[in-house]
A and B are shown apart, each in its own frame.
Chain A
Amino acid sequence: MFAYAVKRLIQMLVVLWAVSVIVFMMMSFTGDPVFMVVPIDATDAEIAQARRILGLDRSLPEQYVLFLKNLLQGEFGRSYVFRQPALDLILERLPATLEIVLVALLIATVVAIPLGVFAGANPQNPLSRLIMSGSLVGISLPGFWVGMMLIFIFAVELRLFPSSGRGETVEFLGIRTSLLTANGWHHIVLPAVTLSFGTLAIILRITRAGMMEVMRQDYIKFARAKGVSRRGVLYGHGLRNGLIPVVTIFGLQLGDLIAFATITETIFAWPGMGKLLIDSIYRADRPVIVVYLMLVALIFVVVNFIVDILYTMIDPRITVK
């Protein structure tokens, strides 16, 4: 177990290093950031001054070495545009992103698992067919379209929810969150539902497939034969064994949602970190892009590590090596 954790840690460092190199190389093709901050008619002296202020007067390899040096001292670089530490900019926006991602995952899980279990246990039922075609729609609809339709129906026409923004926040354990105010929940419903759509459909389909697979097994027939109730078989024996692929996909989806909440955030003017990434790409703000992508890579690695540990808990036959 310990050896396993160490191995994963080393893997993680390699991944993070690779991400930083790739972003540095990519950014050298996306234009010179200095022209994003100086006026069009800037004189050479003004441009040189801006380069000096931003640290862009050094060569790219030099900049990279400096970046690594600072990184080892816990300095993640400063945004060219905001002139603030890049990590602070991201962390400041992280809670808002985590909020919609968690609520979206909650909605997806609560809706998808019972529906998936039902559809898997009763494949011939007309309701199951309806659920399955519904899930296809969920997978195929683009998020921005769903978001716009929800805004149009529930905000503009019915006036049930606000169209955008995060609502009231309160401080809890040093983190600003909107999940502790009624106004905050009022604001989070539409974006979280939008974000949950695709994940909901995927979890539903995986749960159903897992259940169908498991329900054919001999031990299920045996459990029924020895007199366990149908409900007990479904949730006690069936779901528990059908859950392993669901947990895998859950981990991947969590990472995905954090990384791709961008579109939902933009549509609902949700103040998360995804929008920061888009703006930073647009402004060629390399320090922010590097730190953002490294953070997302870190989240992916950590989530998958946790998923591996969870396997061993759900199925004691599995051990991590």
Chain B
Amino acid sequence: MTLNLLPLRRLMATAALALALAAGSADAKQLTVGLTADAVHLDPQAGEELSSNIMFYHIYDPLVRRTADLEFVPGLAESWELVDDTTWHFRLREGVTFHNGAELTPRDVVFTLERLKASLMSSLGRNIESFSEVDERTVEIKTFQPYAVLPNDLAGILILNEAHVTEVGDEQVDLSPVGTGPYRLANWSKEDRLVLEAFEEYWGGKPEIDTVVFRPITNPATRTAALLTGEVDIVQDLSVRDVERVAREADYEVITRPSLLNLVLALDFRDQSPTIPLDTNPMQDQRVREAITRAIDVETIRVAVMNGLSTPSEQYVPASHIGYLPGASFREMYPFDLERARELMAEAGYADGFKMTLDATNNRYVNDQQIAQALAQMLSQIGIELELNLMPRANFFGYIRVPSDSSSFIMSGWDVPSGDAGSMYGAMFHTRDVRDAYGRVNRGAYSNPDVDALIIEADSTADVRQRHETLQRVTEILMQDIPMIPVHYEQDIYAAHNRVQFTPRTDKFMWAFEMDIAE
């Protein structure tokens, strides 16, 4: 007897082919992202920089979620209420599971906060005094003083799983993270690729994209090349040089958005200024500060130094923030006007100008060195001879640190992802050394009792509306006093293949959960 095996073979071949097809393509969506650097940590309490932050928000969730446009909405906490001026109750969402299958409990939140307080990132929780578990779904958080924007702060604190962290130990959290987020870690080959896969049981619904691959490509030209060859679908920080090249390609799109990073110039208010060789400090005179502001042509910096890729700042914080004063703008109050600036200098008794030094970085902000050079050129027009003291950021932040004993004029960046001007005002404009935790970054030693009183008033109400109005009054005074000159916001530039649906976030944290990719 002979067996005819032919039909069977055919059947097997067909089945194999079908299997191969199903595995190869079909519904598994993959997105490959070209980042500027690899993540350093996957433990959100071990440190932070942009790449790590991007991973954190894929893997973990905060109690309060910050939306792409800087609104604060429920995250792991479905609601919260103020019990008294300093006591908050956060009610946890039901049925949230960690990647290891464990259910989210208030105990995890308490554990997270305890661990945070002892970590390098303790500053994230600096307004929190104490915390405890109230019942099986409620966590109580107390602040040192009434603090209306606690939920905004909590958007930066990601919830860990107590059992997992205790089991694997602190060091391993970096390598085997467990959170409640929409993605979990599949594979991390350092400096080469970090692969995330969709977490099916995500409380917010299963993500559209099944696999996200992050590739660190530091060299900007290579990043563009990898995009154009199809090796990656979307890149972060497209080089300014490549904007035109990519925009020319039919299949690709360049996407820009003003960032939150405000480049600011701090002016010295002390009686004598370290780098000004005079017995008095000319910048104590409001007219001199106004003259400097008017002598800086922000529009020229935008066009000539930034290739059009910056947004001149109106105030110290962007329009989305608590404390922003609609209609008020440095650019309208003190427009570029050399003649008026020279008049003001003469009125103040400095017709011949003076000499001082600008401290700035040369590797921290976009074109920082060129901006500093442009400033020197612009201020020379009103007789101010500006010497440049440029340094790498590893030296800079220690050098300019309060008491800023060697600085008169400092260029640095400031961003407020919490969406609240209060933290910036308290740190930068409150009088130094009178109240713990206030005026820590007041590098120019600016001091105005009205400002101090209003900042304290804002920090003693638990009502956001009231805080907003109080901080607006601070904004108004500051714009008169000019303790600092805001210059511009850098632009975030992305480029993506047309298949990718992507809207940039204000905080730069690319988030695959909000993205999609067409087949």
Q: Name A's B-contacting residues (CB within 8 A).
A: 30-33, 35-43, 46, 49-50, 53-54, 81-84, 92-93, 96, 148, 151-152, 155-156, 159, 162-166, 169, 176, 266-269, 271-272, 275-276, 279, 282-284
Query: Which residues of A have CB within 8 Å of B25?
Result: none
Contact between chains at A162 and B231 (CB < 8 Å): yes
Knowing A43-B123, A162-B229, A269-B222, the reply to whether A35 touches B398 (Cβ < 8 A) is yes
Contact between chains at B398 and A31 (CB < 8 Å): yes
Q: How far is the CB of A266 from chain B (nearest CB, A)?
A: 5
Knowing A53-B120, A81-B47, A152-B225, the reply to whether A30 touches B191 (Cβ < 8 A) is no
Contact between chains at A46 and B229 (CB < 8 Å): no
Contact between chains at B394 and A81 (CB < 8 Å): no
Top 10 nearest A-B pairs by Cβ distance?
Answer: A271-B191, A31-B394, A271-B192, A31-B395, A163-B225, A269-B217, A35-B397, A41-B427, A284-B394, A32-B398
Query: Which residues of B have CB within 8 Å of A83?
Result: 41, 46-47, 171, 174
In the complex, what distance in Å separates the CA atom of A40 from the CA atom of B393? 12
Any chain A CB within 8 A of the CB of B216?
yes
Max chain A CB contacts within 10 Å: which of B216, B393, B394? Answer: B394
In the complex, what distance in Å separates the CA atom of A174 from the CA atom of B455? 60
Query: Which residues of B have CB within 8 Å of A42?
Result: 123, 440
Contact between chains at B189 and A46 (CB < 8 Å): no
Contact between chains at B122 and A49 (CB < 8 Å): yes
In the complex, what distance in Å separates the CA atom of A166 from the CA atom of B231? 12
Knowing A40-B397, A93-B191, A163-B231, the reply to whether A268 touches B222 (Cβ < 8 A) is yes
In the complex, what distance in Å separates the CA atom of A82 from the CA atom of B226? 27
Contact between chains at B394 and A163 (CB < 8 Å): no
The interface residues of chain A, by DSSP majority, are classed as loop
Q: How far is the CB of A254 from chain B (nearest CB, A)?
A: 22
Q: How far is the CB of B431 from chain A (nearest CB, A)?
A: 16
**Which of chain A's residues has its CB closest to B48's CB?**
A39
Query: Which residues of A have CB within 8 Å of B395?
Result: 30-31
Query: Which residues of B have CB within 8 Å of A276?
Result: 191
Query: Which residues of A have CB within 8 Å of B47?
Result: 37, 81, 83
Contact between chains at A275 and B222 (CB < 8 Å): no
Query: Which residues of A have CB within 8 Å of B499?
Result: none
Contact between chains at A41 and B171 (CB < 8 Å): no
Contact between chains at A84 and B229 (CB < 8 Å): no
Q: How far is the CB of B484 from chain A (nearest CB, A)?
A: 14
In the complex, what distance in Å separates the CA atom of A122 from the CA atom of B150? 81
Near A by CB (< 8 A), chain B positions 119-135 give: 119-120, 122-123, 126
In the complex, what distance in Å separates the CA atom of A30 from the CA atom of B398? 10
Contact between chains at A275 and B397 (CB < 8 Å): no
In the complex, what distance in Å separates the CA atom of A148 from the CA atom of B397? 34
Besides the known contacts A83-B174, A165-B226, A271-B191, 11 further A-B residue pairs in the complex with CB atoms under 8 A apart: A35-B398, A36-B393, A39-B123, A41-B123, A43-B123, A46-B123, A82-B40, A82-B41, A155-B229, A162-B231, A164-B217
Any chain A CB within 8 A of the CB of B219?
yes
**Which of chain A's residues has its CB closest to B118's CB?**
A49
Max chain A CB contacts within 10 Å: which of B120, B437, B440? Answer: B120
Among candidates A38, A165, A271, A283, residue contacting B231 with C-beta atoms closer than 8 Å = A165
**Which of chain B's residues has its CB closest to A159's CB?**
B229
In the complex, what distance in Å separates the CA atom of A46 from the CA atom of B125? 11
Among candidates B189, B192, B225, B394, residue contacting A36 with C-beta atoms closer than 8 Å = B394
In the complex, what distance in Å separates the CA atom of A101 from the CA atom of B421? 52
In the complex, what distance in Å separates the CA atom of A267 from the CA atom of B215? 13
Contact between chains at A40 and B441 (CB < 8 Å): yes
